[in-house]
Amino acid sequence: MEAQTVTLVQETFAKVKPIAPQAAEIFYSKLFELDPKLKPLFPSGSEAMKSQGNKLMTMLGAAVAGLSNIDALIPVLQDLGKRHVNYNVEASHYDTVGAALLATLEAGLGDDFTPEVKDAWSSVYGTMAGVMIDASY
């Protein structure tokens, strides 16, 4: 993974962190809009979804920070992918999650969501999802 890609993802995630609760809400709204069949895979109720959103943003933050040491991040992603199988996550769901993530970043970053940022996030997410899928299926 190119250093410039990692830097761009880390810098833009830093801009989203201050609005993490709103970003999580945007993410899940978009995810369920893209594929309503995914909603039963998640807890119901506003407090449960707030907690789920917090977990998402914490995990995403750790993964983004871990890009600086990809060799240490890979086993973490592999374990995460294996655990997601237990949550009934299918390989095809990763595409929907990626689309929801990009839409969330676009909404959260506004004008800072440039084509370069989109490409960087697409590359990083594709790599991370690929590692998780390869470890699981």
Region 105-117: what's the mean pLDDT?
Answer: 98
Return the ∠ at Cα 1 (arms to 28 and 56), rounded to 5°: 20
pTM above 0.85, yes or no: yes
Looking up tokens 């240490």 gives 72
The architecture of the domain spanning 3-136 is: Orthogonal Bundle (1.10)
Q: In the prediction, which pLDDT does 72 show?
A: 95
Q: In the prediction, which pLDDT does 119 show?
A: 98
Q: Where are the domains of the chain?
A: 3-136
Return the ∠ at Cα 130 (arms to 61 and 54), rounded to 5°: 25
User: Mind giving me the DSSP string for 16-51?
Assistant: HGGGHHHHHHHHHHHHHHH-GGGGGGS--SHHHHHH
- Taking only the tens place, the pLDDT of each residue in 31-53 is 999 999 999 999 888 899 999 99
- Taking only the tens place, the pLDDT of each residue in 62-109 is 999 999 999 999 999 999 999 999 999 999 999 999 999 999 999 999
Report which residue type is found at 93.
H
Q: In the prediction, which pLDDT does 74 show?
A: 96
What is the pLDDT confidence band of residue 137, given thresholds at 50, 70 and 90?
A: confident
